[in-house]
């Protein structure tokens, strides 16, 4: 629906807003349209249109009717599974189904409208499909006080990058750790003198890193520091590595001593120990280690001894930063709100890492729909975003948001791609950039998404500027982008990050103003009418 060109008059208005030359836009068009992702998307769109035309000629009304009934049956089946009585799954959302939807929305903290927003339905149905896979998490949830409904809260918190104590399936956790890891801590503590809390305070017992490249923390437990002979032999001790998967964390057991996260390589949930790990000097590993002490300084912190492995300071790692933020959030008992905010930088950091998690999840889903390409090919193609939008990235620290948006909008018009193609490609590349810690790719993708009219993504640009990841540290410039996103949300635009978190726009507004020293920066006009924002629903 987006492949028709914009009207010449509108195009002319945008071309007049910026002096940026067409060469950059040509570069993006050549890089993406001629590349793997753009080519596949364009081909799929043409195929879909041909199928739709052929189907429409033969069955004029049946497909739409059948598709709607199928979606409704999926919704009713999922509602019934989680204990929200929608009656028989007949594909008709009547009074009983609307009441069940309302109960589900109340359970999840969504607005109780009786009508599912796209995100609410997608989460419900995907949670049902995930539960059908089974596994220990589902079995233990069935034995808990909430039954299978407890999975909804657990997986919601997991998607948000935060698990609170007691919110997991049927048991307690330590400081928001995944249940699988918490149970292993208890297992080690049961045969050693220290308690689980004391073990977590011991430096080196737990180490965090993203071992499988999915953008989430993985965990290494080294029992050599427990002091228990039960876990150690003459030369080696048991080491447990927990790698994240869509179904939870998968445990891998090894015998070793003096290991670091660099000693292991993981693919999805399966890990192996590198041959050189046993020969690596422990002292050299300790030189790269940095321990989070801020959390330990607070009485409520239970993970003060967790060791984080950072990239060198000259190449700041957002993944490492978000690991630290997650620990501090857990220690503080949850996310800051506008009412209890004490540190605006930490408050914005929490929301940045939360938005990053949502961007990774959404982009990964989009990437999964692109057939015939590997992740490596996608990453290679997305690398074209960086050089193509570099002129705009260079202006972020000095130019106003309106001026930058004017350049980006001209760039969009000259790219040779439809808005839908740009949105799909930018969403996938946003995931690719954050997954690989490539801030140039991620920030470039966020600029494109904002430029095509998806204003809530301006929040990401504000975060990058406020916290100095891939952009100059400029709190006042950041506030302009934050304001652009907040104004869009307050005008009724559907949120793309944490849609179930109440008061989020107010928190971002208050924190950004406080970080900028209390000075409110107005949002600058782009010099022309905004690009239209369309929905593909």
pLDDT digits (tens, 9 = 90+) for 374-411: 878 888 888 876 677 888 888 888 888 889 898 888 88
How many Å apart are CA 439 and CA 311, to the nearest integer? 14
Assess whether 484 and 377 both reside in one domain. yes
Q: Which residue has the higher pLDDT, 86 or 16?
A: 86
Domain that includes residue 494, residue range? 8-34+336-515
At residue 7, the pLDDT reads 35
Neighbours of 414 (CB within 10 A): 20
Q: Does the pLDDT at position 312 exceed 60?
A: no
Assess whether 232 and 308 both reside in one domain. yes
Q: Which of 248, 283, 315 is the last residue of a domain?
A: 315
Mean pLDDT score, 475-486: 91
Q: Which of 315, 347, 379 is the last residue of a domain?
A: 315
**Residue 161 maps to a domain:** no
Q: Does the pLDDT at position 537 exceed 50?
A: no
- Report pLDDT digits (tens) over 28-57: 444 443 344 554 444 444 444 454 554 444
State residue 310 phi and psi, 5-degree precision. Answer: -100, 160
For the chain, give the percent of residues with pLDDT over 70.
69
At residue 135, the pLDDT reads 56
Over the chain, what is the mean pLDDT? 73
For the chain, give the percent of residues with pLDDT over 90.
17
Assess whether 288 and 401 both reside in one domain. no
Strand partners, 290: 308
Alpha carbon of residue 267 to chain centroid: 19
**Residue 327 maps to a domain:** no
Assess whether 463 and 422 both reside in one domain. yes
**Residue 132 maps to a domain:** no
At residue 535, the pLDDT reads 35
At residue 248, the pLDDT reads 85
State the total domains in the chain: 2
Assess whether 348 and 387 both reside in one domain. yes
Assess whether 375 and 293 both reside in one domain. no
Assess whether 310 and 355 both reside in one domain. no
Prediction pTM value: 0.47
**Residue 454 maps to a domain:** yes
User: Is the separation of the CB atoms in 477 and 524 below 8 Å?
Assistant: no
Q: Which residue has the higher pLDDT, 511 or 285?
A: 511
User: Is the separation of the CB atoms in 421 and 2 below 8 Å?
Assistant: yes
**Residue 1 maps to a domain:** no
Assess whether 292 and 351 both reside in one domain. no
Q: Does the pLDDT at position 241 exceed 90?
A: yes
Q: Does the pLDDT at position 372 exceed 80?
A: no
At residue 459, the pLDDT reads 94
Assess whether 296 and 386 both reside in one domain. no
Residue tagged 């030369």 (tokens): 235
- Report pLDDT digits (tens) over 104-147: 998 888 888 899 988 889 889 888 887 776 655 566 666 566 77
**Residue 116 maps to a domain:** no
- Report pLDDT digits (tens) over 316-361: 678 778 877 777 776 777 788 888 888 999 999 989 988 898 888 8
Q: Which of 315, 348, 379 is the last residue of a domain?
A: 315
Assess whether 479 and 394 both reside in one domain. yes
**Residue 114 maps to a domain:** no
At residue 174, the pLDDT reads 67
The token pair at 528 is 């022309």
**Residue 285 maps to a domain:** yes
Neighbours of 103 (CB within 10 A): 19
Number of C-alpha atoms within 13 angstroms, CB side, residue 171? Answer: 16
Tabulate helix, strand, coil % of the chain (nearest 5): 55, 10, 40
Assess whether 210 and 301 both reside in one domain. yes
- Report pLDDT digits (tens) over 152-206: 887 777 666 544 333 333 345 665 678 888 888 888 887 767 777 788 878 788 8
Assess whether 310 and 402 both reside in one domain. no
């Amino acid at each position: 629906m987006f492949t028709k060109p914009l009207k010449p008059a509108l195009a002319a208005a945008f071309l007049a807003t910026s002096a940026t030359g067409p060469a950059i836009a040509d570069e993006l068009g050549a890089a993406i349209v001629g590349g793997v992702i753009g080519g596949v998307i364009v081909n799929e769109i043409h195929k879909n249109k041909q199928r739709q035309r052929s189907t429409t000629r033969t069955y004029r009304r049946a497909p739409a009717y059948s598709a709607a009934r199928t979606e409704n049956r999926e919704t009713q089946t999922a509602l019934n599974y989680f204990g929200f009585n929608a009656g028989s799954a007949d594909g008709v959302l009547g009074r009983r189904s609307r009441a069940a939807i309302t109960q589900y929305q109340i359970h999840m903290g969504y607005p109780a409208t009786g009508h599912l927003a796209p995100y609410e339905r997608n989460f419900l149905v995907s949670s049902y499909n995930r539960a059908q896979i089974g596994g220990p998490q589902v079995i233990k949830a069935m034995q808990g006080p909430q039954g299978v409904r407890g999975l909804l809260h657990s997986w919601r918190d997991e998607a948000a990058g935060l698990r609170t104590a007691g919110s997991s399936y049927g048991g307690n956790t330590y400081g928001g750790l995944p249940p699988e890891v918490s149970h292993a801590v208890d297992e080690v503590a049961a045969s050693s003198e220290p308690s689980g809390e004391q073990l977590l305070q011991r430096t080196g017992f737990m180490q965090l890193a993203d071992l499988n490249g999915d953008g989430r923390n993985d965990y290494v437990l080294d029992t050599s520091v427990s002091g228990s002979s039960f876990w150690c032999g003459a030369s080696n001790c048991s080491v447990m590595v927990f790698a994240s998967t869509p179904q939870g964390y998968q445990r891998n057991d090894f015998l070793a001593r003096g290991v670091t996260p660099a000693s292991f390589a993981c693919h999805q949930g399966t890990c192996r120990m590198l041959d050189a790990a046993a020969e690596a000097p422990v002292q050299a590993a300790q030189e790269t280690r940095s321990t989070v002490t801020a959390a330990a300084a607070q009485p409520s912190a239970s993970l003060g001894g967790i060791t984080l492995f950072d990239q060198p300071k000259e190449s700041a790692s957002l993944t490492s930063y978000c690991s630290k933020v997650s620990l501090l959030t857990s220690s503080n008992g949850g996310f800051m709100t506008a009412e209890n905010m004490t540190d605006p930088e930490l408050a914005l950091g929490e929301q940045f890492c939360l938005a990053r998690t949502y961007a990774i999840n959404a982009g990964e889903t989009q990437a999964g729909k692109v057939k015939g390409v590997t992740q490596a090919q996608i990453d290679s193609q997305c690398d074209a975003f960086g050089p193509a939008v570099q002129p705009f990235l260079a202006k972020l620290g000095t130019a106003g948001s309106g001026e930058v948006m004017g350049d980006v909008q001209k760039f969009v018009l000259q790219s040779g791609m439809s808005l839908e193609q740009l949105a799909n490609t930018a969403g996938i590349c946003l995931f690719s950039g954050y997954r690989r810690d490539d801030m140039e790719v991620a920030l470039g993708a966020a600029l494109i998404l904002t430029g095509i009219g998806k204003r809530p993504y301006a929040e990401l640009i504000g975060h990058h500027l406020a916290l100095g990841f891939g952009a100059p540290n400029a709190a006042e410039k950041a506030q302009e982008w934050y304001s652009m996103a907040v104004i869009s949300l307050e005008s009724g635009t559907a949120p793309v990050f944490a849609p179930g978190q109440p008061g989020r726009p107010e928190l971002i507004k208050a924190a950004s103003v406080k970080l900028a020293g209390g000075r409110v920066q107005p949002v600058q006009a782009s010099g022309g009418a905004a690009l239209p924002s369309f929905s593909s629903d």
